[in-house]
Amino acid sequence: MMHENLDSESLVGRRLFGEYTVTRKLGEGGMGAVYLLQQDQIDQKIAVKVLHGRAAQSDELVQRFNREAKAVSMLNHPNITRLFIFGRSDDGLIYLAMEYVQGLSLREEFARGAMEEIRALKIMKQVLSALSEAHHMGIVHRDLKPDNIMLTEYRKSKDFVKVLDFGIAKVKEPQGGKKQQKLTQAGVVYGTPEYLSPEQAQALDLDHRTDVYSLGCILYEMITGEVPFSAPTAVTVLTMHVFEDPRPPSQVNPRCSPEMEKIILKAMAKKPADRYETAEAFLQALTGREMQLGVGADVAMPGQDILAASQALPKLDGPRPGRGGDNSASLAKTQVFDAAAAERAASRAKSDEDEAQAQTMRKVLIGLIAVCAILLVALIGAIFMVWYVKSGGGG
C-alpha cells in the first residue's frame, strides 16, 4: 500500500519503531512532511521525514532521499543533525528518522535584523566546523541557506548550531565503489537562488568551494540584514551572482568593520580559486577576527566539549545505513579551532612576518655592501690612473 494522499493528520497517532508515537506534524513540502515522534518511557523526541506517495513513485526523488540518508549517515559532528534510522515500512512508507532539533532557524533570526559581529562569528564558526567535516568526507551540501541552519540551546548555551537537509548533497564515492546515479540534470540549477555560487547558477561542475560561497552570502546577510543580490525573478538573481559584484557590506550596514567586509567578499569571490580554499581556511579567518576583537580567549565555540559524546546515538529497532567502516578516525581529523589554536596560528604568522622582514633587511644590506664595494673599486681605479698619469707612466 502506498500513501497516495499524506495529509496533515494521516500519521498522527500512529506508532513507529515499536514504542514511538507520531504526535504532530512539524512541516511539509512538495516531496513530503516531517513529523515529531515521542517515546514516553524515556521521554525522547525524534523527527521523521517521510515521502509523499506521489514522490515515493519517482525514482529520482527516492534516490535523492537515499542520498540524504547516506550523506548524513557518513557524518558524526555535533553541529550536524544525527541520523537514526532510514528505510521503508511494510506498507510502503519511506522514512528517515533523525535527531529532533528544537529552536529557531537562522531565517527566523533574520527577522530581527542584522546581527552583532561577535554573535555572527560564533554562529558561522560552528557552521564551518560542520562543513569542514562534510567536505573531509567528500560531501558537498549544495543547498546552504538560513532555513537549513538551526539555532538551539545546549547546556544553557544559546546559538548552538545544527546544519540540516543534505537532500541535494553531492557525495563523492570511494575509489572502486559503485558509481552513483547522477541526480542533477545538465543545465538544470538546483538550490536557492539567493545563496547559489556563480558556478552553481550556471549548472557547472561543483566542488566544496561552492559551499564556501553560499556561506559567504549567509554571513553577508547576518551582518547587513539583507541578501547580497535581490531581484523580482530568480533568473535575474542568478545572473547577478555570475556577473555583478555585491554592494560592499559596510555600505549596507555602516557598523560592518573593514576586516569583516574583507572576509565576506573573499568568501564571495566569483572565481572559486579566489575564495578561501577550504572551510577550515574560512574558519581560521573568522577566528583571527575574533582574536582582533579580543574575545577569542574568552568565548569558546559551542560543541567543543561534546565531539566525543556525539558518537552516542539512540538504539532503535530497524535498519541502519552502513557507514562503510569506522568513522572515528575521520572524526579525529575534524579541525575545530579554539582560541589557543588561533593564538598559536597568530604567533606563527607573526614569526613568519618577522622572518620575512629580516630576510628583506639582509637582502637590502647585502645590496648596499655590493654597491659600496663597486664604488670602492672604482675609486681605487681612479686614484691609480691619476697616479699613473702624474708619474709619467703614460709616456
- Residue at 263: amino acid letter: I
Burial call 283-322: b when 16+ CB within 10 Å, e when fewer: bbbbbbbbbeeeebeebebbbeeebeeeeeeeebeeebbe
C-alpha to C-alpha distance for 223 and 244, rounded to whole angstroms: 20
Cell readout for 148 is: 537549513
On the 0-12 / 13-18 / 19+ scale of CB atoms within 10 A, 30 is exposed
DSSP state at residue 19: T
Using alpha carbons, select from 63, 74, 47 the residue that is nearest to residue 322: 74
Helix (H) or strand (E) holding 285: helix 279-293
- Residue at 287: amino acid letter: T
Using alpha carbons, select from 17, 87, 75, 86 the residue that is nearest to residue 45: 17
Residue 51 near residue 32, CB atoms below 8 Å: yes
Distances in Å between the Cα of 199 and the Cα atoms of 142, 187, 243, 369, 382 are 11, 11, 11, 53, 68
**Rounded to 5 degrees, what are φ and ψ at 170?**
-100, 120
Residue 13 near residue 21, CB atoms below 8 Å: yes
DSSP state at residue 213: H
* Residue 143 annotated in active site: yes
Active-site pick, 7, 40, 90, 143: 143
103: left (phi over 0), alpha (psi -120 to 50) or beta: left
Residue 268 near residue 246, CB atoms below 8 Å: yes
C-alpha to C-alpha distance for 206 and 190, rounded to whole angstroms: 12
Residues marked active site are found at 143
